[in-house]
A and B are shown apart, each in its own frame.
Chain A
Amino acid sequence: MSTTSPDAFHDVERTDRGASTMQWIIGARPDLLLFLGTPCLLFVVAELALSFGFEVAIIVLGTVGAIGHHFPGLMRAYGDRALFVRQWSRLVIGACVLAIVCSTFIFADLDGLGFIVLMWGVWHAMAQVYGMGRVYDAKVGHLSRQTAYLDKAFCVSWFTTVLLLSPGRIQVALTELYKSGIPAIAPEALSNLQLAAIIATSATTGAWLLHHLDSRKTDRPESLTKVILFSGSIAFWWYANVLVQNVIIGVALFEILHDVQYLGFVWNFKNADLRKAERPARLSAMLFSANPKSLSLFVILAVVYGTAFRGAEQIFSGTAAQVIAILVLLSTLLHFYTDSFIWNLRDAPVRKVLGVDDAERA
């Protein structure tokens, strides 16, 4: 099974074959620390924290990070002039529609948005892992559409299966559905759904593996770093949702992984963008220059954003609490929405900043 056409990659700079499958987004060490080795590191930290009774620390870090990491994404969406010009209709109309949706649900005391946030959140987590995997493939010049489809199917099937097999997650999802008045689902239907998901995931994984092995025979094989990223992230998704018994701790743990990978990716992207800019904005220079001060300021701003919202949730009551709930929901949904297009590898400016092959669309 041939996955790529060598002719399509004529303008890609190549070194030796071994190096070509291990290209990095930032560099070997930062990639290992922020993207690839993070699941292993977090697994060790989580096990130690759970053994020594530091569950609260995990929950606080996860809940603050869950909101805090929206800030850099929203900054990119609404602070990048060129991007805003290209996508203004989505960024403005989308935000208005989402604000109306959130306000309606909160002020009318409607249920159901929790289910949408939960499902979109899982999709968003999956999309980040998939997207970074595509960047790794693009880095080695492997831009086959077939690989992209298989990667997506692989990630979707694994994330869905774990969701269906996670007792805590399924309980939360069904609770949200039933609060909305949806009729009860028979236990047999759920079991059948779980079985179908396992069969589909097994088939997809088989196809994905064969396709990967097949690509090793070509001039432009798939990235090994992508395989490591997928394996680590999906294994951690399993660990956090199935093996960790407490659903809140499980969600917080995967949130921490998601946030570390996201913050690392965004900072690197904006740093690369800054280096390419002729007249960089002052704020960008302050936050994304390659020095510890900028990096610290970037992380602090994200933490302050998350802490401010979480703190406000605890402090206010009545109408003020409803307004805060709307803002938290809006920040979350806007983050999910804008992230679905602002990092798209199909966009030439994104590919340019990431320094990936422009010969074919990923």
Chain B
Amino acid sequence: MRPIHPRLRRRLKVAATWLWLLIPIAVLTGSQMGSSRSELDWQRKLAHSLPDNQSVQIDLIDALVARGRHLEAIEWGEEVIRRNPGSDEGFRALLNVNAALGRNHEALEHFEKIRQLRRANADDYATAATLLHGSDVTRAVELYRAALNLDTEHFAANMNLASALAENGDLTGARSHLLRARSAAPGNASVTIGLAQLDAIAGDAESAALRLQEILSTDPANERARRLLREIQNTTINEPPLRED
């Protein structure tokens, strides 16, 4: 058999090299014609291919929640913990989805699972405490305190604990936690409103009004501050600071 001319061989080699690039380009471009390329679609495929990759699974649950598909997110989360019963991330996702849906009982069950795994973080404690705040304030306070043991600057835990303490008449404790929340989020209007409410309850209407006017000077559309200011100017307020849900 006649050997291939070196020049022809070189050209064939160059052509073959280009095919290595052009064939995948053709396949990848062709596959985009007419098929769905939504973010949720490829995240589903990824979660299907990598069932043991926790971050991929949690990303899909987050994506489903972001699109309002909570029940589907719960189904997927249950599949994650069925496959990996030690997955605190799976339980955490279910805690948050159920909490968002108002399914407090189910959410708290998942919180207990995280606690049993000894992986509960400050966010988990704060979420569970918020769920209990309406029905069992004593337990909620315990959980807020547990959250703050893990993260003293936790904003929601400080805010909500302040609210719970104010409800129980502990205005000093409530003020101390609001001040901690302020140091975690300086300039936050909710904290200033909370402090104004405490001032008003303590009978210091002038200081309360000053705080609310300060908010309205930077955010004149703040309806909550406007309403409270109106109430303070008319009468003395005696309701506890509002909760951060």
Contact = CB atoms under 8 A, between A and B. Distances in A.
B37 interface: yes
Nearest to B24: A116
Contact of B25 (A112, A167, A179, A181): A112
A46 B49 CA distance: 31
Interface stretch (B27-35, B97-105, B138-146, B170-178): B27-35
A96 interface: no
B46 A178 contact: yes
B118 interface: no
A264 B75 CA distance: 54
A271 B15 CA distance: 33
Given A116-B21, A187-B51, A180 B28 contact: yes
A55 B32 CA distance: 36
Interface stretch (A151-159, A168-176, A255-263): A168-176
B53 interface: yes
Given A180-B28, A180-B31, A111 B37 contact: yes
Contact of B37 (A115, A179, A186): A179
A300 interface: no
Nearest to A189: B49
A297 interface: no
A187 B49 contact: yes
Contacts, number: 71
A180 to B, nearest CB: 4
Interface residues of A, number: 29
A186 B21 CA distance: 25
A186 B49 contact: yes
A179 B42 contact: yes
A178 B45 contact: yes
A239 B163 CA distance: 50
A266 B227 CA distance: 71
Interface string A321-358: 00000000000000000001000000000000000000
A174 B56 CA distance: 11
Interface in B1-55: 14, 17-18, 21, 24-25, 28-29, 31-32, 35-37, 41-42, 44-46, 48-51, 53
Ordered nearest first, which 10 A-B pairs have the shortest CB separation?
A112-B28, A178-B42, A181-B35, A184-B45, A181-B31, A178-B45, A180-B28, A184-B48, A181-B32, A185-B49
Interface of B: 14, 17-18, 21, 24-25, 28-29, 31-32, 35-37, 41-42, 44-46, 48-51, 53, 56
Given A113-B25, A180-B28, 20 more contacts: A90-B14, A97-B18, A101-B25, A110-B29, A110-B32, A115-B28, A171-B46, A171-B53, A171-B56, A174-B46, A175-B46, A177-B28, A178-B46, A179-B42, A181-B35, A181-B36, A184-B44, A186-B48, A187-B50, A190-B49
7 contacts: A110-B29, A120-B21, A177-B28, A178-B45, A181-B31, A181-B36, A184-B48
